[in-house]
Amino acid sequence: LSQQQTAKLVLLGEMGSGKSSLVLRYVKGQFFDYQASTVGAAFLTKTIPELSVKFEIWDTAGQERYHSLAPMYYRGAAAAIIVYDITSTDSFNRAKAWVRELQRQGSPNMIMALAGNKADLESARAVTVEEATAYATENGLFFMETSAKTAANVNELFSEIARKLPKA
Ligand code: GTP
Ligand code: MG
């Protein structure tokens, strides 16, 4: 009987990139076309019994006025998901800025995942898979395109993080 491990996980990324939608899809299996913008941060938990991992998830607010709060949420985190919207170059640039901040100020062993969300909006794509993959490889992140709307790759994203956690 293996010991259950608790892991703090934080989501960061531009306002509207779909952080709350990814968490809601993952934890509750829900999606809303009109998802309210997060105020401060939201806290949810989810256990993966097969992997003996309990995630304590901090879904942060992307609005710039909350930026100064972010260190409270990523400090001590075992993992971070940096989210951008594949239809927005600005959101990809914002994701890169978050990666730089975490590389400078985050825990040295933090697992970092880059999620290109809204993959269902292929016809409006602005960030190619190739450029995101190249960026992720250069920076030692693992990368997946996801859709909170269709649920594509959402469970896979969180499970992959759970598998990468150092064994308790
Ligand atoms: P903040 O809390 O303001 O930082 O935003 P957020 O990153 O939490 O984004 P949120 O989850 O609120 O989603 C913003 C909008 O994008 C909402 O209208 C969602 O319905 C929509 N959305 C989120 N994920 C997807 C997706 O995968 N596909 C599509 N088509 N829309 C999405
Ligand atoms: Mg939100």
β-bridge partners, 5: 53
Q: What is the predicted pLDDT for the residue at 167?
A: 82
**Rounded distance between C-alpha atoms, residue 23 and residue 113, angstroms:** 14
**Rounded distance between C-alpha atoms, residue 59 and residue 39, angstroms:** 10
β-bridge partners, 87: none
Sort residue 10 into left (φ over 0), alpha (ψ -120 to 50) or beta: beta
Q: What is the mean pLDDT of the chain?
A: 96
Residue from 35, 66, 122, 145 whose mutation best tests the ligand 1 pocket (most atoms within 8 A of CB): 35
Instruction: Give me ligand 1 centre to Cα 106, in Å.
Output: 25
Q: What is the predicted pLDDT for the residue at 1?
A: 54
Q: Give the tens place of pLDDT for each residue, 103-152.
A: 999 999 999 999 999 999 999 999 999 999 999 999 999 999 999 999 99
β-bridge partners, 48: 53
Instruction: Give me ligand 1 centre to Cα 27, in Å.
Output: 15
**Rounded distance between C-alpha atoms, residue 30 and residue 94, angstroms:** 26
Question: Atom 23, ligand 1: which residue's CA is nearest?
Answer: 18
Provide the pairing of β-strand 53-60 with 41-48: antiparallel
Sort residue 14 into left (φ over 0), alpha (ψ -120 to 50) or beta: beta
Residue from 10, 19, 21 whose mutation best tests the ligand 1 pocket (most atoms within 8 A of CB): 21
CB proximity list for 5: less than 8 A, separation 6 or greater: 52, 53, 54, 165, 167, 168
> Quick one: which ligand is closest to 150's CA?
1
Q: Quick one: average pLDDT of 143-167?
A: 97
- Around Cβ 43, how many Cβ atoms within 10 Å? 11
